[in-house]
Amino acid sequence: MKNRLSYRLQNISFSQTIAMSSKARELKNKGHDVINLSLGEPDFYPPNFVLSAAKKAIDEGYHYYTPVSGYLELKKVICEKFHRDNHLKYNPYQIVVSTGAKQAIMNVLLSLLNRDDEVIIPAPYWVSYLQMVKICESNPVIIPTVMKNNFKINPEQLEKAITSKTKLFIFSTPCNPTGSVYSYDELKNLAEVFKKYPEIMILSDEIYEHICYSEKHTSIAIFPNIYHQVITVNGLSKAFSMTGWRIGYIGAPKWIAESCDKIQGQMTSCANSIAQIAAITALSSHPSKIEYMIKEFKKRRNLVLDMIKEIDGFQFYQPNGAFYIFPKVSNFFGQKLHGKMIKNSDEFSEFLLEQSKVATVSGSAFGNNECLRISYASSEEKIIEAFTRIKKILN
Ligand code: PMP
Ligand code: GLU
């Protein structure tokens, strides 16, 4: 029978982060002692004060559809948050609250992209950007980066990638999967390029903004000349360890916010009402309230750096944000490990899962097939056990 799936879908892959995590879960259910360092999901419980707010919201009767773009009170709190943490000025009509940052990003892409538009994405990139662009039938233009430059692009690379078809630039800082963080000066230099191309929009994914270990996070929208080109994306999944609550949001030019509101009104009506009320409490609290989690991530990052040094053949650089390390594992390609020839990062990741029962994600999912993504959003105990197993199997 003829393939009845849309052309759009025939070209799309499953999310490899989610696929690897499901695989790990399946093996676990079959009784294997799997350590899952594949998914970027903090293992903390959400803060108690946020949980209390959600329970109260249930008791107080927040059971109904909310305005499509979110409760006005939440949008006001988001504006205050942007001002407090990012020195950005947004008005409530520039805010749209969505079902996770994932939906927020998809709303923006659907608002902007036509078939054959070009979207510049530095690699390594977060797994879903590429597929989302393809869903919109646009063309990703990838700028490769190297570990030597902490996986960051420079203004020359950016300018070289721009063509008359460029519609959008997408990046994350702190970056998933590399953990690199763009400095104020680096962003300023990129902003100088964007200033010359006012038609190009910039989607700045800042979902890891609080998970920064050295210098403070900077939002690219703070550069006044390009403020009107930027869509700032954020959410509660990482900072508040609320992945399942599904709250993400954008601050954007009014015309983009209106369009996201229109799309969302047709697709989901609104984000979850109870989670929105909890988000009011979460986002109106000072970031110092979640510092205990950041400190713990930093401890884990340092632990990972100590342990990874002990593994022969891994090349890595120190991540300064998010909760991933992205080592180069290409030294193992072309080698036989425990009787199995390893040709690429997919096979290397498979090998680790089969032989040491440690789940990671192949760098190919993020546009770099020499590396491997290891998430350290798990407990110290699990990290120690995982790296001990990897070391044992490889050294
Ligand atoms: N952007 C990045 C860079 C991410 O790592 C994630 C993780 N899921 C998301 C967006 C989406 O987050 P969520 O939909 O859970 O808010
Ligand atoms: N962002 C997380 C990750 O990269 C969660 C999974 C996903 O949404 O892709 O692992």
pLDDT level of residue 215 (50, 70, 90 thresholds): confident
At 229-253, the pLDDT tens digits run 999 999 999 999 999 999 999 999 9
Cis bond upstream, residue 124 (ω within 30):
yes
Return the CATH fold of 48-286.
Answer: Aspartate Aminotransferase; domain 2 (3.40.640)
CB of 16 closer than 6 angstroms to any ligand 2 atom: no
Pocket test for ligand 2, best of 12, 15, 17 (most atoms within 8 A of CB): 17
At residue 220, the pLDDT reads: 98
At residue 58, the pLDDT reads: 98
Helix ranges (H only) for 16-99 are 16-29, 48-60, 72-86
**Atom 2 in ligand 2: residue holding the nearest Cα:** 40
Pairing verdict, β 247-251 and 230-235:
antiparallel
Closest ligand to 126 CA?
1
Nearest to 365 by CA among 11, 7, 8, 13: 13
pLDDT level of residue 268 (50, 70, 90 thresholds): very high
Ligand 2: centre distance to CA 268 (Å):
21
Pocket test for ligand 2, best of 41, 131, 236, 349 (most atoms within 8 A of CB): 41
Ligand 1: centre distance to CA 242 (Å):
11
At residue 315, the pLDDT reads: 96
Mean pLDDT of 84-95: 98
At residue 395, the pLDDT reads: 82
Q: Indicate if the pLDDT at residue 199 is higher than 90.
A: yes
- Range 186-208 burial, b when 16+ CB lie within 10 A, else e: bbeebbebbeeeeebbbbbbbbb
Mean pLDDT of 284-298: 96
Mean pLDDT of 305-329: 96
Atom of ligand 2 nearest to the CA of 128: 9
Mean pLDDT of 23-34: 93
Ligand 1: centre distance to CA 332 (Å):
30
Tokens of 307: 């342990």
At 336-350, the pLDDT tens digits run 999 999 999 999 999
Mean pLDDT of 357-381: 97
At 362-371, the pLDDT tens digits run 999 999 999 9
**Atom 9 in ligand 2: residue holding the nearest Cα:** 17
Atom of ligand 1 nearest to the CA of 101: 16
Ligand 1: centre distance to CA 82 (Å):
18
Q: Please state, rounded to an integer, the average pLDDT across all residues of the chain.
A: 96
Q: Indicate if the pLDDT at residue 173 is higher than 90.
A: yes
The correct answer on CATH 3.90.1150.10 for the domain covering 2-45+290-394 is yes
* Overall pTM > 0.95: yes
Contact 128, 366 (CB under 8 A): no
At residue 67, the pLDDT reads: 98
Atom of ligand 2 nearest to the CA of 102: 8
Mean pLDDT of 273-287: 97
Residue 13 corresponds to which amino acid? S
Q: How far apart are CA 274 and CA 155, in angstroms?
A: 43
Q: Indicate if the pLDDT at residue 8 is higher than 90.
A: no
At residue 7, the pLDDT reads: 87
For the chain, which residues make up each domain, given as ranges? 2-45+290-394, 48-286
Nearest to 277 by CA among 17, 110, 75, 28: 75
Ligand 1 site residues (CB inside 6 A) read 40, 100-102, 126, 172, 176, 205, 207, 235, 237, 243, 248
Mean pLDDT of 255-268: 98
pLDDT level of residue 1 (50, 70, 90 thresholds): confident
pLDDT level of residue 153 (50, 70, 90 thresholds): very high
Atom of ligand 2 nearest to the CA of 126: 4
* Residues of the chain above pLDDT 70, percent: 100
pLDDT level of residue 195 (50, 70, 90 thresholds): very high
Mean pLDDT of 220-235: 98
Ligand 2: centre distance to CA 176 (Å):
9
Q: Indicate if the pLDDT at residue 114 is higher than 90.
A: yes
Tokens of 109: 């892409």
